[in-house]
Amino acid sequence: MSSPRSAAISRAVIETAIQSYQDPYLKQDLLSAGCVKSLEIDGGKVQLSVELGYPADGLVNGVAELLRTKINNVDGVEDCIVSISWRVASAPVQGELEAFANVKNIIAVASGKGGVGKSTTAANLALALAAEGARVGILDADIYGPSVGLMLGIADGTRPEVKNEKFFMPIQAHGIEAMSMAFLITEDTPVVWRGPMVSGALQQLLTQTVWNNLDYLVIDMPPGTGDIQLTLAQKVPVTGSVVVTTPQDLALIDAKKGIEMFNKVNIPVLGVVENMAVHICSSCGHSEHLFGEGGGTRIAEQFGVDLLGALPLSMMIREQVDGGMPTVVAEPDSQITMIYRDMARRLAAELSLKNSQAAAAPTISFSDD
């Protein structure tokens, strides 16, 4: 039999304890975010079940322990069991486009100009999402300079298996699925295509690849904001985008164009990634902002989007992707990997929030009455 002291525990007091924890990615408490699936109080025993809307294998144990401590500190609680899981839902896509049945969310990684580390970011973000437990694929849409295969260590000349003479089976690399035009052409084949041909080829790659029930498909977009990029953004059912830049003034100007392009076609910009934000000398440890400082933050604030993260100018990042082992898999416990995983959780949580907001939005109907 429960003691009078433990029987007096109210649901409101336990909920207050839960609300004292603010999820750093959802930017609100778990109760307000709708993540509390069940809360049972039996005398002095409390059972809490939480389901996050973004992949968080690296977080769940720590958050569970933190919530357990907060609830155990409530007067009268004798025992507390906290279980935390996560589930990725499909977010809405732009316009009248139909989402793919076997891909929940498509994330376009873009840049206004080349040379800002977009492909490296796309590869490491895809691997970081997978490291958090998600089912992930990556499509190299940079027809003129496909490099994702090289970055993932896929041997030159590798060809995808063809199913029923029509469908491509994606190639597995480091636990994610990959597809690229580079897998279908040889180095000796010049890619001299006009915009409509590029768009058609990429749509074919997307729709004729047998993606295996992915939570996220990351698309490494061609650099720039011209007709090709605009056409792709209008024809591919994208649920969110990420814009990669450097602090350099020219790159920032082009990054703004990238954000404006996605706004024009109603694709949510999940955030900005600032590459080469600071150089740290490998000999003395001195840090220096070679390309300017705070540019990513200024753009994010100007357009009301998140700065997902800032990455240093690092020879290690470059050497690892050139060697087919991006940082997230080459050094899973490194500080740079932690930045990529933090960025992955931020963009996934932002997508989850936008999905919740869309689901909660009222619909207006008209009648002749």
The reply to whether 166 sits in an annotated binding site is no
Model confidence over 87-141: pLDDT tens digits? 999 888 887 788 888 999 999 998 865 667 789 999 999 999 999 999 999 999 8
Model confidence over 69-92: pLDDT tens digits? 999 999 999 999 999 999 999 888
The reply to whether 295 sits in an annotated binding site is no
324 sits in the region (left: phi over 0; alpha: psi -120 to 50; else beta) called left
The reply to whether 113 sits in an annotated binding site is yes
Cα–Cα distance, 345 to 338 (Å, whole number): 11
| 176 pLDDT more than 70 | yes
CB of 112 within 8 A of CB of 221?
A: no
Residue 290: what pLDDT? 41
Residue 330: what pLDDT? 93
The reply to whether 133 sits in an annotated binding site is no
CB of 268 within 8 A of CB of 241?
A: yes
Say whether pTM exceeds 0.85. Answer: yes
Residue 331 vs residue 283, higher pLDDT: 331
Residue 128 vs residue 190, higher pLDDT: 128
| 274 pLDDT more than 50 | yes
Cα–Cα distance, 88 to 56 (Å, whole number): 10
Q: Is the dihedral of CA 8, 11, 14, 16 positive or negative?
A: negative
Secondary structure element (H or E) that encloses residue 327, with its range = helix 327-330
The reply to whether 62 sits in an annotated binding site is no
Cα–Cα distance, 55 to 345 (Å, whole number): 7
Band of the pLDDT at 286, cuts 50, 70, 90?
A: very low
Residue 2 vs residue 41, higher pLDDT: 41
The reply to whether 243 sits in an annotated binding site is no
Residue 111 vs residue 2, higher pLDDT: 111
- Tokens found for residue 295: 């540019």
- Tokens found for residue 212: 């295996």
Residue 22 vs residue 189, higher pLDDT: 22
